[in-house]
Amino acid sequence: MSTSTIIPAGTTASALREGIASKTATFAVIGQGYVGLPLAVAFAEQGFPVLGVDVSQRTVNNLNAGLSHIKDVASDTVTRLLEDKRYEATTDMARLAEADIISICVPTPLSKTRDPDISFVASATEAVAATLRKGQLIILESTTYPGTTREIILPQLEATGLVAGEDFFLAFSPERIDPGNPTYGITNTPKVVGGLEPTSTALATEFYRQAIEEVFPVSTPEAAEMVKLHENTFRAVNIALANETAMMCDLLGINVREVIDAAQTKPFGFMPFYPGPGIGGHCIPLDPHYLSWKMKTLNYKARFIDLASEINSGMPQYWVDKVWEALNDQEKSVKGADILVIGVAYKPDIDDVRESPALDIIALLQSAGANVSYHDPYVPELRVGSEIMGSVDLTPERVSQADCVVIVTDHKTVNDSAIKQQTHCLVDTRSQA
């Protein structure tokens, strides 16, 4: 799609475009978490005045003191931007009136019935609407179902009497944050943008290009919303295939890692996905359900999504069953067993435990009567149900003391060979051992 929309001089869009080009336009980011803070910092580092908005006073106080709570954003960087007066955090939603561009980066969880919960998006939109003025560009980045930007946000904003595409501008651009990724971050991960109409798309595209190397515009917000859901549904389905392949290989007495490693020698038509304890994080376990829910409203059943969810959500129990088998081989019972879980973050070398399968594994083992402890250098404390657990030191003595060691997350600090030498019972969810 072309972004060569001609914007007449003297229009609200023209003034905003000039502010973007000169980097004088104020950028406000609602939500200073895993998505919002890196986004805010990226534009502040390019010279834009940035306002980080969050409902947590503690988060705001820490940020204004130069303390980052996000591993991918260094506290030194926040301190420098504060000193240069290019970044400031606040809980005052009324200050959104100062912004020329507003990005909404708030959580979009699932309800207990696994339906989309867009209450945070609705609240953020209400705050934007309360101070909406001519010449503002509003961009939703929170992952959601196709139609949210047009069906939920647009009516709230136009209820102010201002008209989208004339008085203000509206777009959707899915976040693509991969916490802990040493190669791809905000600036070198391509950005997809879909505006409500061509001018909104053009303005959002021009804005993102000030800090991001490659921006790819699409025709509508719905297309951009679908992009994110397709990306993560693709991953969820292929992870489910890898997990089911692992179970089949186990029954056949075949090493699944050997099979996948050999398969990926094919230079075309194959992409490796590996089995594990399940799926975690805020994206892959949740995003496909947004699409599945939307399709149900159209009387369509998303069969791949449902099947992938069934397989992936069953992996914690699969590995708990493996613990049972391993202890039985030692003529021991799970009840009363001392079990050490290594790694509780949902992926290696980060501190994020959102939707981590380790939480389910620990809870299932505890419900079976096991005495469970864990080690994770990135997660000093962990809440499982109503219990708060603390990480234990990973010493040879602690490993050898455990009746069974369960490796869930592959942190680089974990010495595989040492653990294998120190324990007589090992269940490694990273491979089909």
Residues marked active site are found at 283
> How big is the chain by its Cα radius of gyration, in Å?
24
d(CA 400, CA 93): 54
375, 391 Cβ separation under 8 angstroms: yes
DSSP letter string over 286-322? Answer: THHHHHHHHHHTTT---HHHHHHHHHHHTHHHHHHHH
φ, ψ (nearest 5 deg) of residue 302 = -85, 85
In degrees, rounded to 5, the angle at the alpha carbon of residue 208 between the alpha carbons of residues 54 and 122 is 40
Q: Is 139 helix (H, G, I), strand (E, B) or coil?
A: strand
Distance of CA 308 to the CA centre of its chain: 19
Tokens 């892959």 correspond to 284
- Measured between alpha carbons, how far is residue 431 from residues 145, 199, 217, 279 in Å? 34, 50, 40, 15
C-alpha–C-alpha distance, residues 421 and 416, integer Å = 9
Residues β-bridged to residue 405: 340, 426
Buried b (16+ CB within 10 A) or exposed e, 213-240: eebebbebbbebbbbbbebbbebbbebb
Give the residue carrying structure tokens 């590995």: 319
* CA-based torsion, 32, 33, 38, 39: positive or negative: negative
SS3 call for 52: strand
Q: How far apart are CA 346 and CA 333, in angstroms?
A: 28
Matching residue, tokens 């047009």: 150
**What letter represents residue 358's amino acid?**
A
88 vs 17, 293, 339, CA distance in Å? 23, 38, 46
